[in-house]
Amino acid sequence: MLGLLTLLAALPPASLAAQDAPLNAGALFLLLPVGAHPAAMGQAGTALEGRGDAAFWNPAGLATLPASEFGLHTASLAAGRAHVVTAYFPSPRIGVVGGAVYLVDYGDLESTDSAGHTVARVSPRNLEFLASYATGVAGPLVLGVSYKLVEFRVDCSGDCRDFPSERGVTHALDVGGQVTLGQAQDLRIGFALRNVGFPLQVENRAQADPLPARLVLGALYRLPFHPGNGPDGAGRVDLQVAADVHRPWDGDGPSEMRLGLDVGYEGLLRLRGGYAFVPDGLSGPSVGVGVTSGSIGVDLARMFTSGSDLVVPNPTFFSFRVVF
């Protein structure tokens, strides 16, 4: 996407208008990672639990949210930045409800005249609005669903005769489940079907692009450590190991593997790392850190990737959460 946008910025007006349609790219932004926690763990988020950003990986993970949460997430992806706002509210009677707004801003592309003066600015954006619900079903099984309103739009200001504003909207669903296993409930299995919906159509039906639907399976195993300092020291350090497998829903493409580690100390400090075996510039190692103090949590992550037309090299992620 970055390479395409850079190319469009350098093209003359007639060419720019002709290139608007490929910017749609089937809403590929839906595959970009959201949240510094799963991004640091090699993008292994299918078994993620108890956090609002779980809605973007497996909505069933919302069912274990211990308290109401408000979150802000940003990332240095594509030609601009990605911004996410989340708000989720658990209820003992009905489960967890809430929603999120996701914006990917590709920046402003300027069109100039023969004298080099800017005559128009074209602003491509991707937007996603989520409404999610998750609840426990029976024993260790929880289920979740997210409705998505997905939008791609190109706004123009100035002399827009050659760059008419365009907008495409579609609808999609994520459905998923998680089950906790083991005597100490240390193993959590997650499964989800993501981005199942109608093609995103901007200009006409022939140019509509299918959404990147994915079937995902993941697991997270939690291993507490007992340092041998007596009962007061038991469980102060824990290790979490996560693994995900993603596959295109239509079977057209290879499976993708994601692996992650998360080491924590007393619920205060967490150190994370992982590796993702995925295409589109997101393949490679990642590291991160998380700090929680009272009702506030902050997470940072960095991916070490070569970048591509979809993402910039070595993107960074930041998450801020408040529980109340």
Per-residue confidence in pLDDT tens, the chain, 324 aa? 333 333 333 333 333 333 333 344 558 889 899 999 999 999 999 999 999 999 999 999 999 999 999 999 999 886 678 999 999 999 999 999 999 999 998 888 787 777 878 878 888 889 999 999 999 998 899 999 999 999 988 888 887 777 767 788 999 999 999 999 988 889 999 999 999 999 987 765 556 788 999 999 999 999 877 654 444 445 589 999 999 999 999 888 889 999 999 999 988 999 999 999 987 678 999 999 999 999 999 999 999 987 776 678 899 999 999 999
Residue 11 — φ and ψ, nearest 5°? -85, 155
- Give the pLDDT confidence score for residue 18 in this predicted structure: 32
Run of H or E residues at 3: helix 2-10
> Please, which contacts does 5-9 make with residues 24 or more away whose CB atoms are closer than 8 Å?
5/78, 5/79, 5/106, 5/107, 5/109, 5/124, 6/79, 8/109, 8/122, 9/109, 9/110
Three-class secondary structure of residue 58 per DSSP: coil
Name the DSSP class of 35. Answer: S
- Give the pLDDT confidence score for residue 210 in this predicted structure: 87
Cα-to-chain-centroid distance, residue 299: 14
Residues near 201 by beta carbon (within 8 Å), at least 6 away in sequence: 168, 170, 207, 208
Contact criterion met (CB below 8 Å) for 166 and 203: yes
Three-class secondary structure of residue 269 per DSSP: strand
Distance CA 92, CA 322 (A): 20
Residues near 254 by beta carbon (within 8 Å), at least 6 away in sequence: 247
Distance CA 180, CA 185 (A): 6
Three-class secondary structure of residue 60 per DSSP: helix
What are the E-state strand segments in 92-236? 95-105, 109-112, 118-138, 141-158, 166-181, 187-197, 214-225
